């Protein structure tokens, strides 16, 4: 299991303009994006006791969360993901799922998952049965992404964060989401073994410090 370093900073629109100018000179735009931008819709899982949420709020050292995600409204490519955090380092594993499979998970039709060939699907089934994980809420945002090959660095800006509150019909293009009040722009910097000095210098802003911001946590402020 490979873990990556991750920094998060809460920034404002002026910060983003400054950083965009710096990063565009030294990094490449994510080739999977459209002009550097893509829109993400994610369905997060949690249980009746808000296990994932409470562990994040309480700063539990070893924690994980499950989610299903797609980009730019494209239902032909969805991923089931498990993000783990241990000692401040992050790991993400994923498995492709179909829209039909995702909908069955949402509907509670899960017995097929226990014999699936994808280990992550089987693990989610186990956690749904043992921990009571269920689809909890929708999180949407817009992302701008840059990449830098040395160190496998990825720098992203996440903004226009929206919540589906307790809605779980995330495959429906007409599902209504609402803006999260006063949500900041989130700068994320991720890398493997080392962060090149040129990137470290470029993302450094006076008065901005590493934060533990969570989009899922922010989108649960309504309940």
Distance of CA 69 to the CA centre of its chain: 8
pLDDT at site 126: 98
- Statement: residue 30 has pLDDT above 60: yes
- Statement: residue 176 has pLDDT above 80: yes
Mean residue pLDDT of the chain comes to 93
What CATH architecture applies to the domain 5-219? Alpha-Beta Barrel (3.20)
> Could you tell me the pLDDT band of residue 207, with boundaries at 50, 70 and 90?
confident
Domain layout of the chain by residue ranges:
5-219
42 in Cβ contact with 177 (< 8 Å): no
pLDDT at site 168: 82
pLDDT at site 40: 96
Tokens of 220: 């649960």
Q: Where are the beta strands (DSSP E) in 35-148?
A: 37-46, 62-71, 78-86, 89-97, 134-148
Average pLDDT over residues 98-108: 96
53 in Cβ contact with 220 (< 8 Å): yes
HSE, side-chain direction, 13 A CA sphere, residue 46: 21
> Could you tell me the pLDDT band of residue 182, with boundaries at 50, 70 and 90?
confident
What is the percentage of the chain residues whose pLDDT exceeds 70? Answer: 99
> Could you tell me the pLDDT band of residue 223, with boundaries at 50, 70 and 90?
low
**Looking at per-residue confidence, does 131 or 35 come out higher?**
131
Q: What are 139-168's pLDDT values in tens digits?
A: 999 999 999 999 999 999 999 999 987 778
């Amino acid at each position: 299991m490979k873990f990556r370093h991750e920094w998060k900073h809460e920034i404002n629109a002026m910060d983003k303009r400054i950083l965009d100018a710096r990063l565009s000179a030294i990094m490449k735009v994510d080739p999977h994006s459209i002009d550097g931008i893509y829109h993400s819709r994610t369905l997060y899982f949690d249980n009746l006791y808000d296990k994932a949420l409470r562990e994040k709020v309480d700063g539990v050292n070893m924690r994980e969360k499950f989610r299903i995600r797609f980009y730019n409204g494209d239902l032909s490519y969805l991923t089931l993901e498990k993000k783990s955090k241990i000692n401040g380092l992050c790991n993400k594993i994923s498995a492709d799922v179909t829209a039909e499979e995702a909908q069955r998970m949402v509907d509670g039709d899960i017995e097929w998952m226990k014999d699936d060939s994808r280990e992550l699907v089987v693990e989610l089934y186990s956690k749904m049965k043992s921990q009571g994980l269920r689809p909890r809420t929708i999180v949407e945002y817009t992302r701008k992404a840059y990449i830098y090959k040395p160190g496998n660095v990825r720098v992203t800006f996440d903004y226009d964060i929206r919540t589906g509150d307790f809605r779980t019909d995330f495959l429906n293009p007409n599902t209504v989401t609402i803006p999260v009040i006063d949500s900041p722009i989130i700068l994320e910097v991720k890398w493997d073994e080392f962060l090149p000095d040129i990137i470290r210098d470029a993302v450094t802003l006076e008065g901005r410090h590493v934060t533990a911001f969570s989009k899922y946590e922010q989108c649960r402020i309504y309940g």
